Amino acid sequence: MDPAGLVWIVTGGKSGLGAAVAHALQARNAYVAVLDLNASPDDDNHAAPNLAHFQCDAGDEPSVKHALDAVKAHWKGKKWGGVVHAAGVGMAGKTVGNDGQPFSFDVFQEVHRINLLGSFLVASNVAAILAAQGGTIPRDADPSTIKDRGVIILTSSVSATEGQMGQVAYGSSKAAVEGLVLPMARDLARYGIRVMNIAPSLFSTAMGKGTSDKVRAGLLAGTLHPPRFGEAREFGQLALAIIENGYLNGGTIRIDGGGRMAKA
């Protein structure tokens, strides 16, 4: 799918991986709507005409719907291409801490609210807009004439399958995100909408820089090549490649330098 001239939603797009995706799409002449909890009208004062910011709490249904309505009004009449959902949080803690207390249930719920519920909220609401644009594909349609009508990209983590100690909330939330991908792709196939997921390892973003020296050293020791953390632009390049490659659907792509996590 060519992203040019279409409206794309990028959550968490003010910084880190989301900002890299927004930049990659802008460079391909797409209209980019950045949905971010920290977005404000001031962000658009010096923005390019094909970039706009909208305040949004991805884990809150009214907030998501309000932001998407604002995007519609901002670029009224323009066709949408899809969404790259990069918003997420990581809060570390063991099932039972060193103080003998169970991991905070409030924190556990908040991680799942943002990472899992937010993924579903954003994806399902954008999918409804994409489905309304094109309708269902006729059963007797010639396969050679069927084109993409939308792309949804979610973001999990290698922690979904290799969660280290202290990642009980984060790892389980990201595993659940991966569980959304195939059933959602099957649900939306009749509309010509593809669904994919990216599972990054540790990247040189705010979340990555916030890890301890011990964890960083352990992750680097398990990385094959190149022996460094990922760069946000590489995540953006992969998201763009998924959008443009029409035969990628219903799966997860790791971007991890060949690394595997140890237990701690």
Nearest to 87 by CA among 29, 143, 20, 10: 10
Q: How far apart (Å, rounded) are the C-alpha atoms in residues 107 and 99?
A: 17
Given 31, 170, 191, 247, which residue is catalytic? 170
d(CA 30, CA 252): 24
| Distant-in-sequence, close-in-space partners of 4: CB < 8 Å, separation ≥ 6 | 28, 29, 30
Segment (H or E) for 254: strand 252-255
What kind and span of H or E run contains 159? helix 159-162
Q: Is 174 within 8 Å of 209 (Cβ atoms)?
A: no
Told to judge if 191 belongs to the known catalytic residues of this protein, a careful annotator would answer: no
Q: Cβ(91)–Cβ(107) under 8 Å? A: yes
Instruction: Give the position of tokens 């799942």.
Output: 112
Instruction: Tell me the catalytic residues.
Output: 170
